[in-house]
Amino acid sequence: MRTVLRLTYCLALFWTTNAICQSKMVAIQGDTYIPLYGRDSLQVTISDFDMDIYPVTNKEYLQFVKDHPKWRRSAVLKLFADKNYLSQWGSDTALNNNQSLNAAATNVSWFAAKDYCECQGKRLPTIDEWEYVAMANEKLPDARTLKTYNEYILSWYEKPKTFNNEIGSTFKNYWGVYDLHGLVWEWTLDFNSVLVSGESRKDVDKDSNLFCGSAAIGATDLMNYAAFMRYAIRGSVKARYAMKNLGFRCVKDKKRSTDENL
């Protein structure tokens, strides 16, 4: 009897823990939209996927480096992270006293963020996926034409940054996602795909050392300065850079049903 009760308790704990993990993501219904840098009204189709409700926190990333010593500050290879990597931490496996465990993890390189997501069975969002979800306000899936939407984002850009604000401190958007605007910048899987030398951002012939000086020629909305700034910051960083205002979150592909695969 005692064994049965213990097994029941363990199963209940597993399902509770699993439910908590699953609740950290929300379903994003895909669609077709015109991105900021779509050329000749090029539409991009987004498939259904799941996205983390919040950016990855200091607490979560701290556990990650404890479990994966190669990503500790003293051990990480210079090829994968510059000298700013986790520079605000007190040590390899401890935050500073003034850092919140529930604040977004920053000073993390693209390589480290990518590996973190993959270790969770997830991945970084593409630029198109991130922008697709981020164009929503509280009530609309696409609020880009609203003056108040862009003013809100621009006002955040102008505010002094503390980089210690806790997750969930900004609005919950149409999809149920928090903090895409108003907390930190976020890495994307293909952050440097705006740096193209051909006719399309989908070209494979590109020089990742180029900047996006002339990219505005192909923009679909020349008044969306908030989005321009996001593309500008993406175009100015390299994968090994770690910045105090740059964090990340993960996404996960939707599993296709058996009927869909037939």
pTM recorded for the entire structure = 0.79
Segments making up each domain of the chain, as ranges: 2-254
For residue 135, give the nearest of 39, 194, 220 by alpha carbon. Answer: 220
**Assigned fold of 2-254:** paralog of FGE (formylglycine-generating enzyme) (3.90.1580)
Backbone angles phi, psi at 161, to 5 degrees: -100, 135
Residues 165-186 have pLDDT tens digits of 899 989 999 999 999 998 999 9
Backbone angles phi, psi at 211, to 5 degrees: -110, 170
Strand duo 185-186 + 246-247: pairing: parallel
> Which of 31-40, 146-155, 176-185 has the least mean pLDDT?
31-40
DSSP helix/strand/coil, 243: coil
DSSP code at position 70: G
Sequence-separated (6 or more) residues with CB below 8 Å from residue 223: 150
Burial class from Cβ neighbours inside 10 Å (0-12, 13-18, 19+) for residue 230 reads buried
Residues 44-83 have pLDDT tens digits of 999 999 999 999 999 999 999 999 999 999 999 999 999 9
Angle at 250 between CA 247 and CA 256, to 5 degrees: 165
Burial class from Cβ neighbours inside 10 Å (0-12, 13-18, 19+) for residue 251 reads buried
> Which of 102-111, 206-215, 230-239 has the least mean pLDDT?
206-215
Return the pLDDT at 36: 75
Return the pLDDT at 23: 45
Return the pLDDT at 159: 76
DSSP helix/strand/coil, 131: helix
